Structure 1
Amino acid sequence: MIKNAHRISASSLLRRIFCSLFVVAAAVSLVAAVASSNAVGQRIGGDAVNIANKVAPWVVEHTAYGQQAEFFVVLAERADLRPAANLPTKTEKGRFVYQTLLEKARTTQGPILQWLRERKIEHQSFYIVNAILVKGTRQIAEALAARPDVARIEGNPLIHNNLPQPEPVTEAPSKPQAPKAIEPGITYTHAPDVWGLGFTGEGIVVASADTGVRWTHNALKPHYRGWDGVNADHDYNWHDSIHDSVGNPCGNDSPFPCDDLAHGSHTTGTMIGDDGAGNQIGMAPGAKWIGCRNMDANAGTPARYIECMEWLSARNLRRNLHSRSLEHWH
């Protein structure tokens, strides 16, 4: 199993993470950091100068003095997704993008995967970005960078996110407090006016990629796509991209939705929360949710983020919206 041995702190602090149904900007910057730039499509030669230019400074730093680090081998060939624009429906577009990305990875990564297997080097293949996560030394990174089918070598740093924490309770209430019927923030957005027109999110599936979700919460459980009112089915409704945590309350590869920091439960509640008894905390109480844990408490990596993105794309083509919490790295 690939483990993260090197940690860095994010240079910019998240004082407050704004939670809504459209948190996509951070994900765009994430994928762009690994897969963008027109230079990716160029086939670069294998001389010493070009090899050095193809290895990111973070990888150079973290493989110094014989150290091993996790890094992405980003391939030069990229899938052509432009034909998706001509397809008539969102479902067809999504299926075309998924199948095209997957096929491009399958047809281009084979020689590198074989090279890694022959040398028993830890690795993980990705298709949403045509890249392979590798754990290795500088020598391995440079050998891979010398290949003409490799565009560049990027790092997989551990990124510490400064997520909002629950405030301490300084004084217990004198009597039980009844929940407010509709949260002020929901009222402020005029969501109840939209509900009155008959639009509550019914038929929509939203996806959370965060610290996980406490699926048994009263305001969340009725809306979990894996809950039919009697039995739970977590297949295709939940994925855990945390595989090497130490001491995390959710453990590793949790088979059911679990939240190790409460942040993901909060953001999911903002999307769909409603306990059916008057406590309406979500924008779209008629929608269903699915989830993926992409952070070990407050720590994520590009590989964890991408793994959740792949799962959401491959396994849940019927989902409509994503909410992601992550931190950009520099």
Structure 2
Amino acid sequence: MKHIIINAFYLFGIALGCFSTAQAQKIEREVQEMLHTRGHVEAIVMLAEQVDLSFAQQLSSKEAKGAYVFQKLKATAERSQAPLWKILTDAKLSASPLWIVNAIFIPNLDQASATLLAAHPAVQAIISNPHTYLSPPRMETEMASLRSSVEWGIEKIGAAAVWAKGITGQGVVIAGQDTGCDWEHPALVKKYRGNVEASPNHNYNWHDGISKYNPLNNDTLNPCGLNSKFPCDDDNHGTHTMGTMVGDDGAGNQIGVAPGARWIGCRNMDRGWGSPASYLDCFQWFLAPTDLKNQNPNPKLAPHVINNSWGCPDIEGCGPNNWKLMERAIINLRAAGVVVVVSAGNSGSQGCGSVDDAPAFFPQSFSIGATNISDVIARFSSRGPARWQDTLVLKPNVSAPGQAVRSAVPGGGFASFSGTSMAGPHVAGAVALIISANPALAGQVETIETLLEKTAVSLTDTMNCSGLRSDRSPNPVYGYGRINVLAAVEEAQRISTPVDTPTQQKIAIKISPNPVVDGTVLIEVGTLPDAGKLEVLDPAGRLLQRHVLPQANFQSKNLNLEALPMGTYFVRIVAGGAYGYQKIVKI
């Protein structure tokens, strides 16, 4: 074993010798090793320049936010990437722009081109594109006693009661990034946005992110092939998750939370194998859907919510660099007014801190745990808290039914699966019902997420994790609890307008610790342009505390929240022509 290790370091040293010190610092170690051993590698080139999208918060409509974010991202990428495309063209390398994060995916990068790219000052890093496998959900033997026209999970979260109000998700578009979807399934065909008056039009409604077979699969066995021009599922997973969001065949199979909503889809895996590039490709397409030639992007056709029942774990090659790109994509989608729902993972047997799979642990992801029919956390459901960049993050955000969930499978059938993959779609459907109940909330991501958190049924546990107790709510087992979409819809209907946000220049606010346990937090903002005020608001925008900031050079302040009950709050700072706005959780 010792001899093998020495040889490995010797070979790696040779690989490093092919690059200057400055170049080597930009090229991820895995990329250098692959270039040395194979001569080529799948890689993503990250550019240093990123876009400040804070102005999007000042725009009231989802359409305006989407158009602004798309234009800024696209223009920045085209300008900053221009000299790199000349290098790629001269080397006759095919590549795909990932303008959503200002990066370029290169399927077959060679060492000479890597050297030129790394030498360019616009390049921040050249990172690997590992292929990761979706752990399949567990199939359940269907219990006849649980079978009814409306599935138990839909009843449990109150969706059927919302339908009784005439609210079924109408006017809302749900997206699924998954193994694809059987669009002709009887429970889904009438819900597909591309099925207009029985004349299918897949432009802007479907995108296949799989243009190359995964080397670990048998090419001849994929029923969808490559670059499918119509929605197709090469596994059961994508059809099942979509069924839980919108499914209803009109013949007694009411499997979807929001049967009045429309759906669009993107295939991001080849029979369960995906990669950061395929995930980012789908995120990009959802921000501005294109025609089937992947041209003429239109942000007006972006969905309201995206379900993501997949992961990119470090055990399969993902790591901080490609995680940062996925986090950036989610941040940019949120700025465009799109809610991003993510399954928390199925590593609950590992106990505390098992929400350790990207993108579930990102602070900006709305992560979902899984419960059973008795409102008890499923044994497999990953527990929090999560850690991201040395920060403790309360995860999951909420929980939803995820054990023995019956939904659609390709070929017109139905099956029961268990996993947080089944819980996430319940929440995506709930988002559609909330927006359908109050269309003014379309694009108001923070408000929608807060509604789901504050109206959730509080559930507790005996497990304590990283000093966070689970006998109170929110907690690292259930988050804020199991969602109650009826209560969320009723609360949404009482909101006349989204929570107002001042329209000045934005101030970055850092809050630590967050979540807060003992009630005292440190607020850090740096130097302010003028004297101002610091306010604490509840999720409805009601003022709870106000503190005067008499000096322009204010930098930090200890804030005491002991008198406030557990829950979600917002810290807002207004000073001169600037403002800051940050969420805080007390547990």
> TM-score surpassing 0.5?
yes
Normalised by the length of structure 1, the TM-score is: 0.79
Question: What's 1:59 paired with?
Answer: 31
Q: Is the 8 A contact 1:66 1:138 kept in 2?
A: no
Question: What's 2:173 paired with?
Answer: 205
Which one-letter code corresponds to 2:264 in the other structure? I
Question: What's 2:273 paired with?
Answer: 299
CA distance in 2, matches of 1:178, 1:250: 34
Q: Residues 94-173 of structure 1 correspond to what in structure 2 (within 5 A)? A: 94-134=66-106, 135-164=108-137, 166=139
Give CA-to-partner distance per residue, 1:86-117, whole Å, 9 cap, x none.
Answer: 11212101110011100001111111101110
Q: Secondary structure at the match of 2:46?
A: strand
Question: What's 2:519 paired with?
Answer: none
Question: What's 1:261 paired with?
Answer: 235
Deviation at 1:279, TM superposition (A): 1.3
CA distance in 2, matches of 1:179, 1:218: 19
Identical-pair percentage = 42
Q: Secondary structure at the match of 2:21?
A: helix
Question: What's 1:190 paired with?
Answer: 158
Q: Secondary structure at the match of 1:63?
A: helix
After TM superposition, the structure 1 stretch with the greater mean CA deviation from structure 2, 198-207 or 64-73, is 64-73
CA distance in 2, matches of 1:61, 1:161: 26
Q: Is the 8 A contact 2:210 2:270 kept in 1?
A: yes
Kindly tell me the number of residue pairs found equivalent between the two proteins: 278
Q: Is the 8 A contact 1:125 1:133 kept in 2?
A: yes
Q: Is the 8 A contact 2:131 2:274 kept in 1?
A: yes
CA distance in 2, matches of 1:188, 1:88: 33
Q: Secondary structure at the match of 2:190?
A: helix
Question: What's 2:436 paired with?
Answer: none
Question: What's 2:300 paired with?
Answer: 317
Pick closer, same or farther for the CA change 1:250–1:167 going to 2, 3 Å.
Answer: farther
Give CA-to-partner distance per residue, 1:99-139, whole Å, 9 cap, x none.
Answer: 11000011111111011101112322110010111222334
Structure 2 residue 76 is the aligned partner of structure 1 residue 93? no
CA distance in 2, matches of 1:180, 1:317: 38
Which one-letter code corresponds to 2:300 in the other structure? L
Q: Is the 8 A contact 2:146 2:152 kept in 1?
A: no
CA distance in 2, matches of 1:178, 1:148: 61
Which one-letter code corresponds to 1:119 in the other structure? A
Q: Is the 8 A contact 2:87 2:116 kept in 1?
A: no
CA distance in 2, matches of 1:78, 1:91: 22
CA distance in 2, matches of 1:164, 1:198: 33
Q: State the Cα RMSD in Å.
A: 2.1
Q: Secondary structure at the match of 2:307?
A: strand
Q: 1:251 aligns with which of 214, 225, 236?
A: 225
Question: What's 2:553 paired with?
Answer: none
Deviation at 1:66, TM superposition (A): 4.4
- Which structure dedicates a bigger proportion of its chain to strand? 2
Greater CA radius of gyration, 1 or 2? 2
Q: Secondary structure at the match of 1:198?
A: coil
Give CA-to-partner distance per residue, 1:34-73, whole Å, 9 cap, x none.
Answer: xxxxxxxxxxxxx933322211122123222343101111
Q: Secondary structure at the match of 1:317?
A: helix
**Which protein, 1 or 2, shows the higher relative CO under an 8 Å CA cutoff with sep ≥ 6?**
1
Pick closer, same or farther for the CA change 1:285–1:66 going to 2, 3 Å.
Answer: closer
Question: What's 1:215 paired with?
Answer: 183
Question: What's 1:289 paired with?
Answer: 263
Deviation at 1:220, TM superposition (A): 0.6
Pick closer, same or farther for the CA change 1:97–1:182 going to 2, 3 Å.
Answer: same
Which one-letter code corresponds to 1:86 in the other structure? Q
Q: 1:272 aligns with which of 228, 242, 246?
A: 246
Where structure 1 has 5 or more consecutive residues not aligned to the other structure, the ranges are 1-46
CA distance in 1, matches of 2:35, 2:193: 43
Question: What's 1:33 paired with?
Answer: none
Deviation at 1:230, TM superposition (A): 2.1
Question: What's 2:4 paired with?
Answer: none
CA distance in 1, matches of 2:101, 2:300: 18
Deviation at 1:305, TM superposition (A): 1.0
Q: Is the 8 A contact 1:66 1:137 kept in 2?
A: no
Q: Secondary structure at the match of 2:281?
A: helix
Q: Is the 8 A contact 1:179 1:279 kept in 2?
A: no
After TM superposition, the structure 1 stretch with the greater mean CA deviation from structure 2, 135-144 or 55-64, is 135-144
Deviation at 1:147, TM superposition (A): 1.3
Pick closer, same or farther for the CA change 1:60–1:286 going to 2, 3 Å.
Answer: same
CA distance in 1, matches of 2:96, 2:203: 22
Q: Is the 8 A contact 1:179 1:278 kept in 2?
A: no
CA distance in 1, matches of 2:38, 2:268: 29
Deviation at 1:80, TM superposition (A): 1.9
Deviation at 1:166, TM superposition (A): 4.2
Question: What's 1:326 paired with?
Answer: 310
Give CA-to-partner distance per residue, 1:159-206, whole Å, 9 cap, x none.
Answer: 11212264689xxx9xxx996210011111111122222221011010
Pick closer, same or farther for the CA change 1:298–1:66 going to 2, 3 Å.
Answer: closer
Normalised by the length of structure 2, the TM-score is: 0.45
Q: Is the 8 A contact 1:211 1:294 kept in 2?
A: yes
CA distance in 1, matches of 2:310, 2:89: 31
Which one-letter code corresponds to 2:35 in the other structure? T
Which one-letter code corresponds to 1:112 in the other structure? L
